[in-house]
Amino acid sequence: MIEQSQPKTIGILKTPNDPRVCLLPKEVKRLTGELKLNILFESGLGSSLQIDDAEYVQAGASCLPKETIFKNSDTIVSINHTFSEVEMKGGCCFIGIFNPLFHDSKLAIYQKHRATVYSLDLLPRTTLAQSMDVLSSMQSLAGYRAIIKASEIYNGVFPMFTTAAGTLTPVKILVLGAGVAGLQAIATARRLGAIVEAFDVRKSAGEEVRSLGATFIEVEGYTESSNAGGYAVEQSEEYQRKQKELIHNHILTANIVISTANIPGRKAPLLIETRSVEAMLPGSVIIDLAAEQGGNCELSKNKETINHNGVAILGNSSLAAEIPLAASKLLSNNYFSFLKYKQKAENQNDDPLLTASQIMEEGEWTHQYFAKQLQPA
């Protein structure tokens, strides 16, 4: 059952080791003005973006110590888990991007303190939820950043160069997964003059890939699910075998590989085997955006760059954080939209977006997945 009372005071916390900010002064002003909410914030909230505390104060918020924010807030918003058990107040509501499907061990602290928890990365990918879709926001930036990052690592140029001294051929890029991140990677690479191939298990992705000027490669026999919400689903062993062989053959001629394939709630599919890496051209680059979920590349290590047989492999599922101002602008709109929607929802018990994103209420599991997986027998 979802809480009926609306939060009157919202506390905004900094996220250690993450320069992104979940609410900027522009949206804070709308929260205090349009929604009549009291906003408390931690000093230095926007320092990573060169935003002074004074800008938040001018927007109607109050700057207070972290412990005071916890004590006086009905709802705490942050990027992810940013607090210790000592700081938590019983019965508080927490809103963030907690990636609970892969970090469910961190949920025990909320349950112990009878918290209500909403994780925005659980929102369904529907028209109604578009303005709150933090995953699409961050994945789009990650796809863009992956190409820029690859261009910095790769020892060559993206477009064709024709000069009196000779011709430089364009770089060849293979993108694995044509979701939000993959499509943005394709679009960015094409703008820079690269030749791009893209793979996705979903046949429907082919039209979007081709519209961006890339070549679509596919394996016949994909199994779809009407309950997948537009995401890919796990495939048969035979399909996976054919898939790996197809990818291997295309990797042989690629200079850069951007892998973005994920399946919600499951380990990322293994698409790039060690044998494929060892067969790549020397100086090639792999950017694995699925590294936090186990990686699409067999050799990926999250938050690390390794060199294997002359191939640079960068595993990072948080590349959006490397362009924090752009990321914060999108997140701030996402968070504001969710808070506004939540406040105005007429029947929160049956609301499709609130029930989909809520993990627990007052320490009791409300999300079907977590109730089934984590509830004691």
The CATH number that applies at residue 275 is 3.40.50.720
pLDDT, position 266: 84
Catalytic residue among 130, 204, 211, 225: 130
145 is catalytic: no
Q: Is residue 256 part of a domain?
A: yes
pLDDT, position 118: 97
Query: Domain containing 96: what range?
Result: 9-122+345-374
Catalytic residue among 125, 190, 191, 266: 125
Asked if residues 90 and 114 have their Cβ atoms less than 8 Å apart, the reply is yes
Same domain, 370 and 261: no
- Structure tokens belonging to residue 111: 């349950």
Same domain, 314 and 351: no
pLDDT, position 374: 62
Same domain, 85 and 229: no
- Residue 255 vs residues 143, 178, 325: alpha-carbon distances, Å: 17, 19, 30
Same domain, 107 and 146: no
pLDDT, position 282: 94
Asked if residues 287 and 256 have their Cβ atoms less than 8 Å apart, the reply is yes
Asked if residues 140 and 181 have their Cβ atoms less than 8 Å apart, the reply is yes
Same domain, 201 and 108: no
Q: Is residue 253 part of a domain?
A: yes
210 is catalytic: no
Task: Give the residue ranges of DSSP H helices in 5-157.
Answer: 25-33, 53-58, 66-72, 108-112, 134-153
Same domain, 48 and 146: no
136 is catalytic: yes
- Residue 76 vs residues 54, 140, 290, 347: alpha-carbon distances, Å: 21, 26, 28, 22
Same domain, 307 and 194: yes
pLDDT, position 234: 63
Asked if residues 64 and 40 have their Cβ atoms less than 8 Å apart, the reply is yes
Q: Is residue 332 part of a domain?
A: no
Q: Is residue 70 part of a domain?
A: yes
Catalytic residue among 53, 154, 191, 231: 231
Same domain, 234 and 116: no
Q: Is residue 336 part of a domain?
A: no
pLDDT, position 237: 82
Catalytic residue among 78, 119, 136, 332: 136
Same domain, 312 and 195: yes
- Distance between CA atoms of 373 and 377, rounded to whole angstroms? 10
SS3 241: helix
CA dihedral 215→217→223→226, nearest 10 degrees, is -10
* Residue whose C-alpha is closest to residue 113's, from 82, 87, 142: 87
Q: Is residue 158 part of a domain?
A: yes
Same domain, 111 and 214: no
Asked if residues 142 and 180 have their Cβ atoms less than 8 Å apart, the reply is no
- Distance between CA atoms of 292 and 24, rounded to whole angstroms? 27
Same domain, 114 and 214: no
Q: Is residue 133 part of a domain?
A: no
Q: Write out the chain's pLDDT in tens, 377 residues.
A: 454 455 589 999 998 889 999 999 999 999 999 999 999 999 999 999 999 999 999 999 999 999 999 999 999 999 988 777 667 777 899 999 998 988 777 888 898 899 999 999 999 999 999 999 999 999 999 999 999 999 999 999 999 999 999 999 999 999 999 999 999 999 999 999 999 999 998 888 999 999 999 999 988 766 665 454 555 566 678 888 888 899 999 999 999 999 999 987 789 999 999 999 999 999 999 999 999 999 999 999 999 999 999 999 999 999 999 999 999 999 999 999 999 999 998 777 789 999 999 999 999 999 888 877 666 54
CB atoms within 10 A of CB 330: 18
Asked if residues 314 and 154 have their Cβ atoms less than 8 Å apart, the reply is no
Same domain, 282 and 353: no
Catalytic residue among 74, 133, 200, 288: 133
- Distance between CA atoms of 100 and 19, rounded to whole angstroms? 21
Asked if residues 216 and 198 have their Cβ atoms less than 8 Å apart, the reply is yes
pLDDT, position 207: 96
Strand 311-315's sheet: what is its strand order? Answer: 215-217, 195-199, 172-176, 256-259, 285-288, 311-315, 304-308
pLDDT, position 348: 74
Number of domains, the chain: 2
Q: Is residue 335 part of a domain?
A: no
130 is catalytic: yes
